[in-house]
Structures are given as C-alpha cells and as structure tokens.
Structure 1
C-alpha cells in the first residue's frame, strides 16, 4: 500500500514548513487556548487537505508554491482542525489521531472555544489574501460544516433518509473543503474558469470517496486503527452508505434502527446484518466511482510529478480499505 510519506513526496518539505507555520500562526494570549489548539496540530494526521493545495500549486505553477498558496494550505488545515475540535465534542470522542482529544484533556468549553478561535484565525488570514473569490470559496466551507452537522443531527436514526441526503451531508462535512480549496488554488494561480471548475470537481469527488471509505472503515476497521469502537457511527444514529444499502436488502435492520438499538443485542445484530449484506461492497463500488471521476477531472492539469501524486491520492483513498 502506498504510504502517505511517499505519496506526498513532491511536497514533503512544504508540509514540514506548514506544520511549523501553523504552530506560529496559532498564537493566543490565553495559554490554555493556545495549548488546546497546538495539541491537535502536534498530533499528526495525514495532512491530505493542505497536501492537495500544495500539489495543485506545484502542478499549475510548475514551480515552488507561492507565499499565497502556502498560506491557503495553512488556512485549509486550520479550518479542518477547527472542525475536528467541534466534531469531537459533538461525538464525545476521547481519542483523535491516536492521542486524547482536546475536550477530554481540557473540557468541552475549551475545545469549543479553541475551534471557534481557529475558525476566526483562519478567516482573518483568509481576508489578508486579498482575493474576494477565494474568501467566498472558503467562507462557504465554514458554512457547509455547520450545515452538515445540523443535517446529521436532524437525520439521527432516520431510516427514511435517501442516499442523496447522505451524499449531501458528506459533501458538507468532508468534500466541501477539498473542493473549494482546490478551486481556490486555481484562482490564486490565475487558471481559467473552466479549469477551476475541474479542480473543484476533483476535490469534490476525492472528498466523497474519502468519506465513503471512512464510513466503510467504521464497520471493517479495528478499534486500534479507528481510535474508537467499530460501529460507533451506527450506535450514535449516523446512518452511512453501508447501512443505507444494507437496509434495502434487510428490512429488519430498519426495525432495529428505528428503536435506536436500545434493546440488548440490537447493535451486535445490526452489525451482523450489515456484514452479511452487500452494503459494504456496494459502498466500496460507490467510492471507486467517485475516485475514477476525480482522476478524470485532472486531465486538463499539466503533466508533472505533482499531478501524478494527485492521481495517486485517489488510489490511496481506496487502498485504505486494504
């Protein structure tokens, strides 16, 4: 399986600089707030989102990323990290990226304030790029995060939701940032509107594939790999692609979910029904479709080592299943 390190080889040095810059950018007068934000940056992570920005910058510019592209990559990671801080509070997650979550160390209030702080910092640096179109694109992402969380809350244990509703929520929570930051990279590079739209579509498709794979791994991954118990999404009422597909085959699964898995053995039985259905396989096929579409949207990007890495990002997304 391709490692993240080899995958991002063209921008490995850029990502090292990015992490150091993030620690410097996240400066706050309150030491606890600073420690909370810095904790998540130090925890690691794959840095897929800023890597896509930096790879696109190199592919479009055919040179080192400009200072504005580097700042866009930093803003992208700040927005992503802010969303994680809030997600962990909503989901009551105790571990993130193999380390204790900010809210488990500092409490919910500090975690939420740290997330708000990062959103505010990202917005300030975004405004200082002095590009109104880029400001609009990334502001849309912050709005989409909130929309996705609201949708997920409203659809909790709702067995009548459609695959389209699930994909819309997945776009808001995951793909919007990848899509809009990819397009913003093109805008900063002075690319044509047509190419910028292709970049947007690339990010959208990668993001949807990435989220579907994450949702499959919630059923097939180990607790150690996931950092949380398998089936956590289902237990909390978040119905993802494997569940929606499985319910089409197994009506009794709906019964278990509609009573919110409250009776003894309900969760275990639901997990068994999902594993015995074609839900996981159909979800894998859906992720593969989006990965293929993502590759097709790169055809107008000039050939380079960085463009090849962007193609391999789609392969890496799928290989996480193996």
Structure 2
C-alpha cells in the first residue's frame, strides 16, 4: 500500500509549518485546552485533509507561491476535522483512536465536549479573519453538515429500510462535505475560474465518499489493531453502511438479526458471517472505485503539475487501503 505521506512530497514543507502552527492557534491561555491541543495535534496523524487543501492551492497557483490564506485554510480544515473527532469519540464512547487515548478518556466527557466546541469556535474565528465571505460560507456549511450527519446517523440506527441514497447523503455530511468545501475554498482563494472551482468541489465530494465507503468496508475486513477499534463496531452500534445495505438484498435473515438489535448471544457473529458470505463487500468496493474515478475525472482541467499528480494518486491511495 502506498503510504499517504509519500503523496505529500510537493507540500511536505507546508505540512511541517502547519504542524507547528496548529498548537499555537489554540494558544496557551487555557491550560487544559492547550494540553488537549498538544495531545491531539502532536499525535501526528496522516493530515490528509490539510494536505489536499495545500496540494490544490499549489496546483492552482503554479506561477507563484501559495499565500498565508491558503495555509490558514489548511489549518482551519484540520482543526474542524479534529474537533469533529473529539465529539465523535464522546458519542461513540471510544477510549482509543488510532492507538492514542481519546480526549474524553483522559479528561472526561465534559472537558471533551467543551474542547471540541472550543476548537470549532477557534476555527470559526480564524475563518472570519480570512475576510472572504464565500470561504466563510463554505466552511460554515461544513459545521452544519457535521451536526446533520450525526443526527441522521442516530435516527437511522438499526433501520434496515434506509436506502443507499440516504447512506451516501449521510456519508457526505459526515466526511465528504469538509473535503469538498475546503477543496472549493482553496480554489476560491487562488481566484481560479468558476468552472475549475466547481470541479475542485466535485473532486473533494467524490474523494470523500470513496474514503468513507472504504472506511465502512474496513469495519468488516480490517483488524482491531489497524482500525483502532473492534471490527464490526459500526454494525454493533446499528450504523448500517454500504456492505450491509448490499448484503441485505441477498440475505433476508440479516434483516431479522439487525431489527432485534443483536439481542441474542450469537446474533452479531451470524450477521458478520452473512455479510462476508454475500457480495456486499465486493459491491461496496466497486462503489468506492466508482467515486474515486469520478474524483480523478474532475481534475482533468487542472494544468499538469506535481501537485495535480499527487491529487490523482490520492484517489488510488484511498482505494489501496483495502488491500
């Protein structure tokens, strides 16, 4: 598998600056929030979302260097993403994320919720200081989409009647919206053409959907060590994803197991077996590949560059996580 970081060569130096700036953006006026920020932003992570923003910034600014606004947009994108993870971990009661203790397991739920709120507020303040109304609108939409996606997921728990369209819409709200709108915002700051700006949005949209579908497949095929949580966690909590929705078309008994919320001892294991015995995982792979291809198609009008090639390769990387 291609490591994500090897795709980031054109923006390697930019990402180092970003890592230094993230903790400073929070400030050290609030010791617990500063400690939380150091824990979160110091933990590393792949930084895929800000890397995409920086790659798009460079791909649309070939004749000149990227601006401080591009850099700040990348930092805001990572801060919004991190804030959403802090809240997700509270909702999911996760003790560990990617092998690192979650904020709520270290400081308690109250501090974790407030820390997530604080990071959202900080990102909004820095966003306003970009003095670009269109960019403010784009990233503010993301904050609303996160909440809508989380509520939609909660309302649809164990609902075997949800459609693939509903699942994709929820995946957009929870994952693709940030990538799509921050990609578009990078094009807006670069003052590129309206056509390319819309293509950048669609690139982020389809890449984000592919990313989420792959994550949902890995919930069934990945190891606990790889996932940082027990395999089948989404299904256990009633979150029905693409592999399950496809499997339900083939395995009627799966519906009964889900609708009784795995009340009996072996229900979850039976459900996992039925999903693995169906075409659900393979069809979900094909769906992810479809969206990855659509993402790449939307880069066609960008002039050739190392950054553009890295954006193309990002789609291959997303799919390669399955193998």
- TM range, smaller chain: over 0.9
Matches within 5 A, 1:40-51: 40-51=40-51
Q: In structure 1, what is the equivalent of residue 169 of structure 2?
A: 168
Q: In structure 1, what is the equivalent of residue 210 of structure 2?
A: 209
**Cα distance in 2 between the residues matched to 1:111 and 1:39:** 12
Q: In structure 2, what is the equivalent of residue 299 of structure 1?
A: 300
Q: In structure 2, what is the equivalent of residue 135 of structure 1?
A: 136
Q: By how many angstroms is 1:66 displaced?
A: 1.1
Greater alpha carbon shift after TM alignment, 32-41 vs 110-119: 32-41
Establish whether residue 34 from structure 1 lines up as the match of residue 34 from structure 2: yes
**Cα distance in 2 between the residues matched to 1:32 and 1:125:** 21
Q: In structure 2, what is the equivalent of residue 259 of structure 1?
A: 260
**Cα distance in 2 between the residues matched to 1:139 and 1:189:** 19
Q: Post-superposition, which runs of at least 4 consecutive aligned residues in structure 1 deviate over 3 A?
A: none
Q: In structure 1, what is the equivalent of residue 11 of structure 2?
A: 11
- Unpaired runs of at least 5, structure 2: none
**Cα distance in 2 between the residues matched to 1:33 and 1:21:** 15
Q: By how many angstroms is 1:38 displaced?
A: 2.3
Q: In structure 2, what is the equivalent of residue 150 of structure 1?
A: 151
Indicate if the aligned counterparts of 1:157 and 1:257 stay in contact, CA closer than 8 A. Answer: yes
**Cα distance in 2 between the residues matched to 1:46 and 1:259:** 38
Cα shift readout 1:228-275 (whole Å, capped 9, x = no counterpart): 000000000000000000001001000000000111100111000001
Q: 1:12 to 1:166 in 2, by over 3 A?
A: same
SS of the residue corresponding to residue 61 of structure 1 reads: coil
Q: In structure 1, what is the equivalent of residue 314 of structure 2?
A: 313
**Cα distance in 1 between the residues matched to 2:21 and 2:212:** 28
Q: In structure 2, what is the equivalent of residue 73 of structure 1?
A: 74
Indicate if the aligned counterparts of 2:206 and 2:295 stay in contact, CA closer than 8 A. Answer: yes
SS of the residue corresponding to residue 321 of structure 1 reads: coil
Q: In structure 1, what is the equivalent of residue 201 of structure 2?
A: 200
Cα shift readout 1:179-236 (whole Å, capped 9, x = no counterpart): 0000000100111111111000000000000000000000000000000000000000
The alignment covers a number of residue pairs equal to: 322
**TM score, norm. by length of structure 1:** 0.99
**Cα distance in 2 between the residues matched to 1:50 and 1:95:** 23
SS of the residue corresponding to residue 289 of structure 2 reads: helix
Indicate if the aligned counterparts of 1:36 and 1:110 stay in contact, CA closer than 8 A. Answer: no
Cα shift readout 1:90-144 (whole Å, capped 9, x = no counterpart): 0111111211111111101111111000000000000000000000000000000
Q: In structure 1, what is the equivalent of residue 112 of structure 2?
A: 111
Cα shift readout 1:271-298 (whole Å, capped 9, x = no counterpart): 0000110000000000000000000000
Establish whether residue 92 from structure 1 lines up as the match of residue 93 from structure 2: yes
Q: In structure 1, what is the equivalent of residue 179 of structure 2?
A: 178
- Unpaired runs of at least 5, structure 1: none
Q: By how many angstroms is 1:37 displaced?
A: 2.5
Cα shift readout 1:17-56 (whole Å, capped 9, x = no counterpart): 1011001101153211221132111112111110000000
**Cα distance in 2 between the residues matched to 1:276 and 1:152:** 26
Indicate if the aligned counterparts of 1:44 and 1:97 stay in contact, CA closer than 8 A. Answer: no
**Cα distance in 2 between the residues matched to 1:44 and 1:98:** 12
SS of the residue corresponding to residue 249 of structure 1 reads: coil
Indicate if the aligned counterparts of 2:70 and 2:186 stay in contact, CA closer than 8 A. Answer: yes
**Cα distance in 2 between the residues matched to 1:64 and 1:235:** 48
**TM score, norm. by length of structure 2:** 0.98
**Cα distance in 2 between the residues matched to 1:279 and 1:43:** 34
SS of the residue corresponding to residue 46 of structure 1 reads: coil
Q: In structure 2, what is the equivalent of residue 187 of structure 1?
A: 188
